[in-house]
Amino acid sequence: MALARVVTFEGVGDERIAELKKQIEEGPRPDDLPTSEMIVLYDADGGKSLAILFFDNEADYERGDAVLNAMPTGDTPGQRTSVTKYEVAIRATP
């Protein structure tokens, strides 16, 4: 069963999103973060961001959760306001 870690952030700015996008697109994928997919949504007007990280199983989720919880706050899009674990009930791409 796939799982998703959904994290909300406040105080997110255009520059920080641009930095993260460049870092993710150009940098190597972290070996210790076993995500199968990552989506970051950004509300520029509200200064908010929503990050959704998908994991294939519980063990990967637990390992990824530990890595992300240990991440320095300067590496995040803004101030983390919530972290929620979801089961991926439906997933489709066109």
Give, in degrees to the nearest 5, the angle at Cα 44 between 39 and 47.
95
The total number of structural domains in the chain stands at 1
Is residue 53 included in any domain, yes or no?
yes
Question: Model's pTM, two decimal places?
Answer: 0.90
Instruction: Find the domain containing 69 and state its range.
Output: 3-87
Q: Is 85 left (phi over 0), alpha (psi -120 to 50) or beta?
A: beta
Write out pLDDT tens, residues 7-21.
999 999 999 999 999
The CATH number for 39's domain is: 3.30.70.100
pLDDT category of residue 30 using cuts at 50, 70 and 90: confident
Q: d(Cα 14, Cα 39) in Å, to the nearest integer?
A: 17
